[in-house]
Amino acid sequence: MTYCVGILVREGLVMIADTRTNAGLDNIATYRKLHVFEKAGKASMGIATAGNLAVTQSALTLVGEGMKNPETGALEILTDMPNMFAAAKFVGRAVREARGELGETIEQEDPGAFHVSLLLGGQVAGGRLRLFMIYAAGNFIEATPDTPYLQIGEHKYGKPILDRSVTEMTTLDEALKIGLISMDSTIRSNLSVGLPIDLLTIRRNTARIELNYRIDAAEPYFHDLRERWSSALRAAHKAIPSPPYKSHVVEAAK
C-alpha cells in the first residue's frame, strides 16, 4: 500500500508520497509513486499513485508517451492539455484504458483486487493551479477552498493533523511541514507505508516545479521533525488536566 497527499493553498501546491508497495517480514519493495510531468514555461504537473502497480504504471506510460486524440487521431501527451480540467480527463481516460487492458486478468487472479487512485496537481500556463483525485473508473473530484487537501492510500492516520491544521490560507511552507507530519504519523502507525518520501511544490502562477525532492532515512530535517512532533504531543497531553471522573459509579439500569 502507500500514502499520498496533495495540499492546495493560496500560495501553491504541495504533493507528498511514500515509496513502499509491499510490506512483510522479508518482503519490502520500493517504487516511486510521485511522478513529474513538465514542459518548460507551459505546464507543470505531478501525479501520485496508489493501488495496483501494474495498472498505475500502465496509465503513467500512456499519459507520458501519448494517446491518440479520438477526434483528430493526433498523438497527445499530458503536458499538451490546454488546461488542468482537460488534463484530469486525459488521466482518467488513461486509467480506463489501462483497466481495459489489464483489469480482467487482475480480477481473474485476485477478485476485487483492482484498486487504483491517483492525485493530479499542477498548472497550465494561463490557467488555474488545481488538484484532482482520480478514481479507478476514471472519474474525479477536485480540491476546493473548503477542502484544500486530498489523500489516497492509507490516509486515515494522517488525516487528523490535516483536518486540524490546513486551510486555504496556510502558507506553502506550512503546508509542506504539515504534510510531512501527516506522513510521519502514517509511517509510525502503518507498516505498509515507509521511507523514502518524494515531494514536490508548485508556486501559484509560475507553471513550474519549485521543489522536487526525496527524503530518505538519513535526511536531518525529517528526523528532527519526527522527534519534535513526538515531543510536542507528549508535552501537550501532559499539560491537559486529568479527567475529573473519579469515585463516580453509574448504576446499572434495573
What string of DSSP letters covers 133-158? EE-TTS-EEE--SSS-EEEEES-TTT
SS3 of 33, please?
A: coil
Can you tell me the mean pLDDT for 148-166? Answer: 97
Q: Which amino acid is at 115?
A: H
Coil, strand or helix at 11: coil
* Position 90 pLDDT exceeds 70: yes
Give me the DSSP letters along 39-74: ETTTEEEEEEEEE-HHHHHHHHHHHHH-EE-TTT--
In a domain, 32, yes or no: yes
Indicate whether 245 belongs to any domain: no
Question: Domain limits at 155?
Answer: 3-236
pLDDT band at 246 (very low <50, low <70, confident <90, very high): confident
Q: How far is CA 192 from the centre of its chain?
A: 15
pTM: 0.93
Q: Cα separation of 214 and 199, whole Å?
A: 6
| CATH code of 39's domain | 3.60.20.10
> Among candidates 9, 8, 10, 57, which has minimal Cα distance to 33?
57
Establish if 115 belongs to a structural domain. Answer: yes
Within-domain flag for 113: yes
Residue appearing with cell numbers 489501462: 98
Is 182 inside a domain boundary? yes
Indicate whether 153 pLDDT > 60: yes
Q: Report the number of distinct structural domains present in the chain.
A: 1
Q: What angle do CA 155, 131, 96 make, to 5 degrees?
A: 80
For 28-69, what is each residue's pLDDT tens digit? Answer: 678 999 999 999 999 999 999 999 888 999 999 999 999 999
Whether the predicted pLDDT of 8 surpasses 60: yes
HSE toward the beta carbon, residue 212, CA cutoff 13 A = 13
Instruction: Tell me which DSSP letter residue 99 carries.
Output: H
Residue 242 lies in a domain: no
Predicted confidence (pLDDT) per residue in 180-208, tens digit? 999 999 999 998 899 999 999 999 999 99
pLDDT of residue 100: 85
In a domain, 151, yes or no: yes
Determine contact, residues 158/151, Cβ cutoff 8 Å. yes
Share of the chain above pLDDT 90, in %: 81
Domain contains 69: yes
